[in-house]
Each structure stands twice: as structure tokens, then as C-alpha cells.
Amino acid sequence: MEQTIRVELSTTKKEKPKTDQLEFGRTFTDHMFVMEYSDPLGWHNAEILPYQPLMVDPSSMIFHYGQSVFEGLKAYLTPDGDAQLFRPERNLQRLNRSNDRLCIPPIDEKFALKAIKQLVALEKDWIPSTEGTSLYIRPFIISTEPYLGVAPSRHYKFIVILSPVGAYYKEGINPVKIAVENQYVRAVVGGTGEAKTGGNYASSLKAQEVSAKEGYAQVLWLDGVEKKYIEEVGSMNVFFKINGEVVTPALNGSILEGVTRNSVIQLLKHWNIPVVERKISIDELHQAYKDGLLEEAFGAGTAAVISPIGQLTWNLEHLVINNGNTGELSKNIYDTLTNIQYGKEKDPFNWIEKVNEPVRVKR
Amino acid sequence: MEQTIRVELSTTKKEKPKTDQLEFGRTFTDHMFVMEYSDPLGWHNAEILPYQPLMVDPSSMIFHYGQSVFEGLKAYLTPDGDAQLFRPERNLQRLNRSNDRLCIPPIDEKFALKAIKQLVALEKDWIPSTEGTSLYIRPFIISTEPYLGVAPSRHYKFIVILSPVGAYYKEGINPVKIAVENQYVRAVVGGTGEAKTGGNYASSLKAQEVSAKEGYAQVLWLDGVEKKYIEEVGSMNVFFKINGEVVTPALNGSILEGVTRNSVIQLLKHWNIPVVERKISIDELHQAYKDGLLEEAFGAGTAAVISPIGQLTWNLEHLVINNGNTGELSKNIYDTLTNIQYGKEKDPFNWIEKVNEPVRVKR
């Protein structure tokens, strides 16, 4: 029996910010989706409501024990004026994998996708239309039981909020400087690294703050056990083109399985460009650089899509990649993915989900 | 210039639960302390308010990126009817160490202690008086900026709530069964293990859930790098009495520095019982057990004070410690610490802070 979504429309409409003044994650639309969980009812009471503050008891577990998960995806406006999503089913699958790791009850992925589409359709006017802009979709689950015992919560809220976001690259795709992180660790096998949970992001702030002061855009995370193998860059997955082959760290339990990561791999295979998921150490990368074989490096994630790495600093040595310029392959991947996302290019992968079509079941 | 605390008294009083029906962390008192932080004001607007839900924007960072820290301590009622705290300055020092790791601005420890004492004094009627009961004090800080960027928040709330709690041991101190955790990892050096932040507790839930199904009270955490060295038990520090010497894992960056842990060490030194902080592997412990030298084992933390370990299960082998009974030393430590906490025994360590005295500066 499928739940229905009760809709309460906002009586007022916020003023929409000018497209060229949009920042990431500061402006939110007029409505939000909220669904509650409690024992023994399960997930229930699905509603689209006016965007509003939550009333949360100060003893609610989310404030104390960090039991939370989230996702991030975008709605894009096509040249025809359609709203569309990029592989949303993968975000919802991952949300449920995160739920499992954090002892949060699973959601019905098909229903959640229906809810997201209904919310985005209602807020379609909020999707900005200029180059590179989009409507960021943030589904998240918080533990709301008013209880200080360390145990899985018995109450949750699943919430979806929407935020119009400006172009990530205001002046075209642009390489960044990255520092290899030697002190702090993002995640370790057996921990929560492959789950999209708040604690992973909280623990990353310190390294980010220190490296930002030194002029770096992000840090390159090494594994937490040997501090040797490359894991992620900032909050993105990472790829290296070495001697014609593209290498990305294999999923090992401490790396987040990015939707963009998976799309890059599929795209490269489609193009018959060699791509391999395997362990890669910082020493191996350094050797490849010294041998002149490190051709390109880039991060891959929903926010930037592709973020070229122009310089990698490790133990005070600056590895300048592709003369600090965006590589050809990086640019091609960026163009193709964004063209598919914005409906400017054919989607041979069945990645696009139109907002106004019924939910399809994809795996 | 010291801040003042504005006080708004509740117009209604909640009914106090019966002492024998008190659970941990489910009932809260009539008032709470709230202080806000924003750039560039710093910490400001300190208030004691009627206990009430917080109005929090759904985009607030606490719901997404887990930037939060907390503490836990207790107020005890003495036979003379005085309210007193146990080493509260150490909790506030640790809160600031946690703040530093999580990129949260530091609080004024002396002012925070004053606020806690004022709140506890106001709620003194809520401190239960029967054996083993107390008023649990939960200071915590949450990041409240409405922003989805991954960066330290620029707004925070520091909140203190109080909860009357029943006796941890309703029928006397009692040993528990513990399983050595082989799959999941609590923390790793370079991560957040020594900070009291939500994410550490969220990540521990899964192992706890799995082991509870198998009949264990808690898990014994091994280090995340070699899965070899003992770190903590559940959310407590751990001690072993081996051949007359007490051993506890040395603070290494991934272990929380417990106030009870520190007190146990001081007490043992006071008693001239050998105590050492060092690395101890599960193999060494197993060998000591086989050699008949593992005399006692116990967890140490604010909730239970001392939690004797009667059985430790590792790789399907059950190590039964002290015939599954509470050891003599464990019992002596428990009795002495709780007698000091409840004002039934002299405090030679200057650990007690009377609620009605001005804040003293202790380090």
C-alpha cells in the first residue's frame, strides 16, 4: 500500500534571488518534504509543507550522537524547459546503504523518488536557467527521539529541502591546488567512510581549515591505516590519468561510492578509454609524476562534476600536473556529463529521470 | 568583562517522576541554559529558560555535517542535602579540546561552570536522593548556521539540559559480558576518537546492535590500524588488573580521556597500587588470561562509574574473569569514587565542587 503525500501550500512566496547572486546552499525554496518514522508505525505522515523551522527537543538524539545521513543531487532545466534529475535512484540506494551503517530504518526508495519529483515539480520555478546553474536537492534523515541513551533512535524525520545554486565554475572549469593530508584521517575501514553521514564531514573540517590557511582548495585524503593509499579529495572521489590509463581508488569500505564517480567510469568505458579501480599509493603517483606519466588528475562529485587538480603538494614538494591547466580528458568528461545533465546531449546510458514522468524502476 | 545570565523562570512545574521509575536520559527538568555564538559577536546572550523545543532551520549544519560536541557529568546530593559536582572543570576543559578538533570556537570554561552551577542550583529539587541516583548534566554545542556548504559553522548554540537518573546498578554492582569487536572500528589516530563528538557515537551503534543481539552488553574496541591494541569498552575507558598491576590503554589520540579514567588512576596511585598507562594488545591480554594472571577487568565512565567485566569473548573463546564476579579492587574503586561523589567520604583530591560555592579555578 503506497503512502499518499499530503500537500500544504505556502500562502506566501519568497522572492527568488538573482541568478548571478546565487551562492551554494544559502537560499531555500518555498516548500519542503517531511516524513516521520516511529516504532511501530514505520515511515508515515508524508507531507509537502511550507519551508519552516523544525521544532526539535534539546534532548533529541541528533544533537548528541550524530545519527544522521544525507544525500545531494540536482534538478536541471533543459533547453526545452523540462526539469530533470541525474541518476536519482543511485542517491536513494546509497541513502539506504548509509541508513544500514547508521542503524536507521530503510526508506522506500521508489516512494522517496516520487516525493522528490513531486516537490521539484511544485518548485519548478525555482530551478535557475542560466548556464551551469541548478536546483540542489538535499534529502536527509535525522534521529529525533528525545533520549540521551547511546542506542539507535526510535524516531526519525526524512526531510527534503531544495536550494537554487549558481554555476560552480563562474569563469569556466578551473584547476585547483590540493595538499596531501598527512596528519588527519577522514575514515578507516570498519568505520563509516562509505556512508554519507554527518560525522565524516565534521571530522574533515579541521584538515580543510588548516590547508585552506596554507592556500589549498582541498586536501587529498590517504587511508587511515597505512597513510599511504589515496582515498578521496575533499568531499569528492579522485581520478588520475597515468600513461593513458585512468586510475581511481577501488571502493574499500572507507571511500564514498560517488554517483559522479560511477558515471565517469561508465563514460570512459563507453569511450574505450582504459579505466581501472584499484589501490593507488601516493608513492606510486609521485613516481608516475617524476617519470612524466601523470597526465591529468581530477576530483569528481555532484557539486563541481569535475574539478581538475592543477597542483598536488606532498611533503613540501609541488607536483604541477598538466602545467596547471585543465586536461583534455577532464574537460571532455565535464562537458559530456553536464551536457547530459542539462539535456543538451543524448543520454545513451538511461541516466536521466524526467521530473514529470512517473517513477521508473532502475537499478 | 563577564557575561550576565538572564533568567526566565518557567510558569509551570513538571511533575517529578518517582525515583524508582527513573530511566537514564528520558526525563528533563523545568529549565535549561542556552548561550549563542555568532560571528563577530562571539558567545553571547546567555540565558536560563524554561525547558523547551529548539526552533532550528532544516538547513542548519547540525542536521547535515555533524559538527557537534557534548559532555556528561552529574550533580549528587550529599547526606547533608548539599548539591555537588565531581571534577566539572575537567569536563569543560575536554569540551574545549573537542571544540578545537571540530573547529568550534572555545567557550569560557569558568563562565560555563558558573552557568551549570546556577542551573543546577535552580533545579536542586530535581536531584533525586535515593542510593545511586543523581542529576545528569548534559552540556552540548550544536552548529546552527543555515548553510549547506561543508565548512565550520558561523553560528552555534551551547545548551545545558538536566535529567534526573536512577541508580545504574539497581541490585548492586554487577559484571557484564563483553565481545571483542573484530569488524567495526570506533576511531583511528588522526580521526576524532579523543573528541566527544556525535559522529563517534553514531559510528559505534552498528557494532553495539550486532553484539547486543548475541547477548553482549558492550563491545571492546580495538585500534583501527592494526586491530590489535585495546582502546575502549563501549563508551567507557577500560582497565585490567594483571598480576597485581593495573593496566589501562595509553591516550594515543583515538581514545577519549575519561574523567573517571583519570580519577581511577589517581586513586590507585594514592593507594600505592601499581598502575600503568601503556599499549596493551588483545593477544597480551589473552596470554595473561591463559597464564592465570588476568585478575580483574572493568570499564570506567560517568554513567556506571565502574562496570566490571565478567566475561570477554574473543574469536569464539570466552574468557571468564574472576569467575564472572566483581573483583575486590573494582568494588573498592567503585565504593570510594561513589562515596566521594555523594559526599559520604572525605575528598583528599579536591575533586568536589559544591554547587553553592563560587567557581574555583582548578586545573
pLDDT in tens, chain A (363 residues): 568 999 999 999 999 999 888 989 999 999 999 999 999 999 999 999 999 999 999 999 999 999 999 999 999 999 999 999 999 999 999 999 999 999 999 999 999 999 999 999 999 999 999 989 999 999 999 999 999 999 999 999 999 999 999 988 877 788 999 999 999 999 999 999 999 999 999 999 999 999 999 999 999 999 999 999 999 999 999 999 999 999 999 999 999 999 999 999 999 999 999 999 999 999 999 999 999 999 999 999 999 999 999 999 999 999 999 999 999 999 999 999 999 999 999 999 999 999 998 776 665
Same domain, A116 and A194: no
Report the residue of A22, A28, A63 to disrupt the B interface, i.e. the one with the largest count of B CBs within 10 Å: A63
Residue B123's domain is classified under what CATH number? 3.30.470.10
Same domain, A283 and A192: yes
CA dist., res. A136 & res. B286, Å (int): 53
CA distance to partner chain B, nearest, from residue A273 (Å) = 33
Same domain, B18 and B149: yes
The reply to whether A344 falls in a domain is: no
Same domain, A189 and A269: yes
The reply to whether B337 falls in a domain is: no
The reply to whether B345 falls in a domain is: no
For chain B of 363 residues, list the mean pLDDT of each consecutive stretch of 10. Answer: 87 92 94 96 97 98 98 97 98 98 98 98 96 96 97 98 91 91 94 97 96 95 96 96 98 96 98 98 98 98 96 96 97 98 97 88 60
Q: Which residues pair with A26 in a beta bridge?
A: none
Domain stops at, among B168, B186, B214: B168
Same domain, A28 and A71: yes
Closest partner residue to B225 among A146, A208, A225, by Cβ? A225
Same domain, B184 and B313: yes
Same domain, B314 and B281: yes
Same domain, A43 and A144: yes
Q: How is residue A204 annotated by DSSP?
A: H
The reply to whether A209 falls in a domain is: yes
Same domain, A196 and A246: yes
Same domain, B180 and B316: yes
Same domain, A118 and A201: no
The per-residue pLDDT for B108 is 98
Contacts of B65 in chain A (CB under 8 A): 198, 201-202, 205
Domain range enclosing B144:
6-168
Q: Say whether B209 and A103 touch across the interface (CB within 8 A).
A: yes
The reply to whether B271 falls in a domain is: yes
Q: Say whether B67 and A190 touch across the interface (CB within 8 A).
A: no
Domain stops at, among B168, B190, B217: B168
CA distance to partner chain B, nearest, from residue A173 (Å) = 20
Complex ipTM tops 0.90: yes
> What burial letters (b/e) apply to B232-261, b meaning 16+ CB within 10 Å?
bbbbbbbbbbbeeebbbbeeeebbbebbbb
The reply to whether A313 falls in a domain is: yes
CA dist., res. A30 & res. A161, Å (int): 9
Same domain, B37 and B183: no
The per-residue pLDDT for B172 is 79
The reply to whether B83 falls in a domain is: yes
Give how many domains chain B has, as a whole number. 2
Report the residue of A144, A150, A194 to disrupt the B interface, i.e. the one with the largest count of B CBs within 10 Å: A150
The reply to whether A346 falls in a domain is: no
The per-residue pLDDT for A228 is 96
Residue A250's domain is classified under what CATH number? 3.20.10.10
Q: Say whether B138 and A150 touch across the interface (CB within 8 A).
A: no
Domain stops at, among B168, B194, B214: B168
Q: Say whether A148 and B140 touch across the interface (CB within 8 A).
A: no
First to last CA, chain B: 22
Chains A & B: contacts with CB separation below 8 Å: 226
The per-residue pLDDT for A203 is 96
Ramachandran angles phi, psi of B145, nearest 5°: -65, 135
